[in-house]
Structure 1
Amino acid sequence: MSLQLPYDWIAPDWPAPARVRAFCTTRSGGVSAAPLDSLNLGRLVGDAPEAVAANWTIVQAVMDADGSPVHTVRTRQVHGSQLLAADARTPEDLEADACTTTQPGVACITMAADCLPVLLTDRAGTRVAAAHAGWRGLAGGVLEEALKPFWPPAPVDQAPAAINNEGEVMAWIGPGIGPQAFEVGAEVREAFMAHDPAAAGCFSALGGGKYLADLAGLARQRLRAAGVAAIYGNDSSPAWCTFSQPSRFFSHRRDSAVLGRSGRMAAAIWLAH
């Protein structure tokens, strides 16, 4: 059974197992007033608490449409790399930028508004994960941390990617700020190049120590290096850029500069009962 998504919410186009459910919201379909209209899911961005609660009720109804209630795990994201292993007893608001579970009916949630939501599953449909991947999280290894539970333990002298895991895990990268809009300083480029000099290919010099960064490209590079060959979703094209589509996506960089705040979207993934 596939989810019936309302409005222009995004269903990942990937060959995930039938029991895997996943989607990413847009800014459409909620009750929040301007400038956070309409489906703002961020609780700490100055929106009316009752509006945010009503918006989450809308999202919850979509998740519960299979007929079994889904327990959502929403973490307090701090642009780090900590992974939370979740189950039906996991409370809200624990600090983590990635979440994983093997328990059916438990949804791993990641929030975003320029940072990338990255969803993961294995081909057997036994585990799912969601990661919040801005540049700090990516450079700090949040995707590698989210992938660790998918891999068998590696010998101490081998990296996980050195084991024959290729094809076992797939990733979907959601909307985020695009390479035409994400201006960063030299320290961002250096943080990625320190991990892999090939990251230089994801930066375009603007002069004055400034660069345009391809965040989705950096995510794909880190995923491939960690052993994930099956990568879907955001290909760095303009269609995925949150900054350049104000009617569809929230963008922290775009909106905060003008309005002082921005709403948040959510990506969710879980295993059906």
Structure 2
Amino acid sequence: MYRADWFVPKGVKFAFTERTGGVSQPPFDSLNLGTHVGDQLPLVLQNRQFLLQQLSLSSEPAWLEQVHGTEVVDLDIDSNRTADASLCRTTNHTCVIMTADCLPVLICDKSATQVAAVHAGWRGLCDGIIEKVIAQFDASPNELCVYLGPCIGVNAFEVGDEVRQRFIDKHQQTESFFIPRADKYLADLQGIARYRAQLMGVNNIYNLPHCTFELKDRYFSYRREPVTGRMASLIWLEK
């Protein structure tokens, strides 16, 4: 799922899943793709198999054990799967990350020779995971396309001043992406990600302005429901 008016290079495929269309039961209803959230494993595996069929994938996506860090794995040479981003330059793998409020970021180059999937929670985003992935591409930043998927929106993502200050300590201009509310702040994850990618020199940035917290019927949200499922964001090179 993505907007038809986005530029997507020929040879690149990607998808952001929603919560519907699977077999998991409440509170994981229904297309839960996470095996670590308490759902019945056979149902999750059915959901994953359904995803393979729907997207016509030739092999299982490279599911990661995400830890809210900045580790990036090159799927073509590295067997490690404890990371928050993956990258590949062949048709042998599908990059995938899971979210339920955090920001999914998919990246490719215009020549369709390399792709990456990034799990950008606020910690990883603040610590530079997007910049780290962009730096690993064998292409200049102005030759990249960045796609920002559904995440918790600015009207719902409330954080404390310590979170705001961590971002400002990295880039003073980031302050504009935090809106005061009582003794807290509302944070714009997509806005920060766009700004940080632009600082790296990326000009082709697209986003789905969907709030996972507000759109209960379409998306899982950990902040709304701590026991819930996970969506997947996938990107791969066509064979």
Q: Please indicate the TM-score interval, normalised by the length of the shorter structure.
A: over 0.9
1:265 match: 231
Stretches of structure 2 that go unaligned for 5 or more consecutive residues are none
Q: Which amino acid aligns with 1:199?
A: T
Q: Is the 8 A contact 2:144 2:204 kept in 1?
A: yes
> Which of 173, 185, 196 pairs up with 2:148?
173
Q: Which amino acid aligns with 1:82?
A: E
2:216 match: 246
- Matches of 1:133 and 1:61 in 2, distance apart? 27
Q: Is the 8 A contact 1:72 1:109 kept in 2?
A: yes
Identity of aligned residues (%): 41
Partner of 1:119, secondary structure, is strand
Partner of 2:142, secondary structure, is coil
- Normalising by the residue count of structure 2, what TM-score does the alignment of the two structures yield? 0.95
Residues 123-142 of structure 1 mapped to structure 2, 5 A cutoff: 123-142=110-129
Q: Which amino acid aligns with 1:247?
A: D
Residues 167-206 of structure 1 mapped to structure 2, 5 A cutoff: 167-206=142-181
- Matches of 1:166 and 1:77 in 2, distance apart? 25
Residues 29-178 of structure 1 mapped to structure 2, 5 A cutoff: 29-64=21-56, 69-87=58-76, 94-151=81-138, 165-178=140-153
Stretches of structure 1 that go unaligned for 5 or more consecutive residues are 1-9, 153-164
Q: Is the 8 A contact 2:152 2:211 kept in 1?
A: yes
Number of equivalenced pairs: 238
Q: Which amino acid aligns with 1:83?
A: V
Q: Which amino acid aligns with 1:126?
A: T
- Matches of 1:184 and 1:99 in 2, distance apart? 28
Aligned alpha-carbon RMSD (Å): 1.5
2:2 match: 11
- Normalising by the residue count of structure 1, what TM-score does the alignment of the two structures yield? 0.84
Partner of 1:228, secondary structure, is coil
1:220 match: 194
Question: Cα distance, 1:90 vs. partner?
Answer: 5.8
Moved over 4 A (4+): none
Question: Cα distance, 1:86 vs. partner?
Answer: 0.3
- Matches of 1:21 and 1:132 in 2, distance apart? 18
Higher-Rg member (1/2): 1
